[in-house]
Amino acid sequence: MSDFAADVRRGLNATPKFLLPIYFYDALGSALFDAICELPEYYVTRAETSILTEFAPEMVQAFGPPIRLVELGSGSAKKTRLLLDALHGDVEYVPVDVDSTMLAKTEQSLKLDYPRLRVHSISSDFRAPSVALKSVLKNDVRNIVLFLGSTIGNLTYDEAVSMLRDLPGVLQDGDALFLGADLRKPKSILEPAYDDPLGVTASFNLNLLSRINRELGGNFDLAKFAHRAFYDEQRGRVEMHLVSREAQRVRIEDYEVSFAAGETIHTENSYKYDDATLTRLAAESGFSIEQKWTDSQGLFADVLLRVCGGM
Ligand code: SAH
Ligand code: AVI
């Protein structure tokens, strides 16, 4: 059984039901995510782009030469281009992503635009980064591990610590982690960012059910599910759910799943950070924050983390 099949079976038979966000990103899901990044309500990508646009030369200086850029959850790598520009495109770039279609597209377009760039793509799950990176993190140059876009926010705090804690063991002196984190802000900004009036985020969410239909022979009727997103201020996270509009049964492979009217499948958390939580996350993962950059509105932060005791 594939991991996808096993995780769907486990999530839909759990109480409450859940699906893992890694499965959003098939070719269609990645295209929908790129469309989300263009939405006026989704400030996240624009805020990080503005930080990188303003500070890329300073960041690259802080990395210290010479370097290899390794990126976890690279996607289209559009923002990474701002760092590549500051490095004059003359580095090795190692994108790591679960979506191999997106990886191939990104590699092709980067090679066209940066002829001196050496790209070594890795199709892998970043939740165990040392496994994905063992063969590439040589100590010939400094390795800078990028984790942009606040993808860290799609992990719970404990999952984030256990993922980041896996890195110091494979990083050498001088290596660093460059982490993007979305910051806490009012509900009035957060909720439209995850429930846009055009329905692009709803499509991104519902694509999980389409993907189960396409790849696992499910018979979800998408019209019978609604997208829901809300900010839980106490937990500092936006939750996304798919809500069953009526009582229904759905067949997947050789089993059936029953839904009560109004029952939800929890599909994503998007944690929002504050300074104290970021500092604690870094410390509990074996890192310390060396430098921090934010945008003029204080929406988003990029931080440079060094292994504690390292240089
Ligand atoms: N870094 C880009 C893309 C963010 S979208 C940006 O900042 O805009 C999240 C990316 O992480 C997607 O490309 C998705 O395919 C990838 N991804 C999500 N979960 C993953 C996992 N567990 N392992 C590897 N890649 C993952
Ligand atoms: C990839 N990740 C950081 C996005 C986020 O904002 O949590 C995924 C996303 N989900 C809905 N919109 C965007």
The values of phi and psi at residue 284, to 5°, are: -70, -15
Residue 310: per-residue pLDDT: 57
Measured in Å, residue 48 CA sits from the centre of ligand 2 at 13
> How do beta strands 122-123 and 118-119 pair?
unpaired
Residue 132: per-residue pLDDT: 86
The string of pLDDT tens digits covering residues 19-43 is 999 999 999 999 999 999 999 999 9
Residue 114: per-residue pLDDT: 96
Q: Is 175 in the pocket of ligand 1 (CB under 6 A)?
A: no
The string of pLDDT tens digits covering residues 39-68 is 999 999 999 999 999 999 999 999 998 899
Q: Contact 214/207 with Cβ under 8 angstroms? A: no
CB atoms within 10 A of CB 198: 12
**Mean pLDDT, rounded, of the chain:** 96
The Cα 298–Cα 295 span in angstroms is: 5
Please check the confidence at residue 311 and state whether its pLDDT lies above 60. Answer: no
Measured in Å, residue 69 CA sits from the centre of ligand 2 at 23
| Token pair for 141 | 């140059």
Q: Is 97 in the pocket of ligand 1 (CB under 6 A)?
A: yes
Q: Whose C-alpha lies nearest to ligand 1, atom 5? A: 75
Q: Is 29 in the pocket of ligand 1 (CB under 6 A)?
A: no
Please check the confidence at residue 211 and state whether its pLDDT lies above 60. Answer: yes
The string of pLDDT tens digits covering residues 253-310 is 999 999 999 999 999 999 999 999 999 999 999 999 999 999 999 999 999 999 987 5
The Cα 92–Cα 27 span in angstroms is: 25
Q: What 8-state DSSP symbol labels residue 183?
A: B
The residue among 9, 270, 275, 287 whose CA lies nearest residue 150 is 270
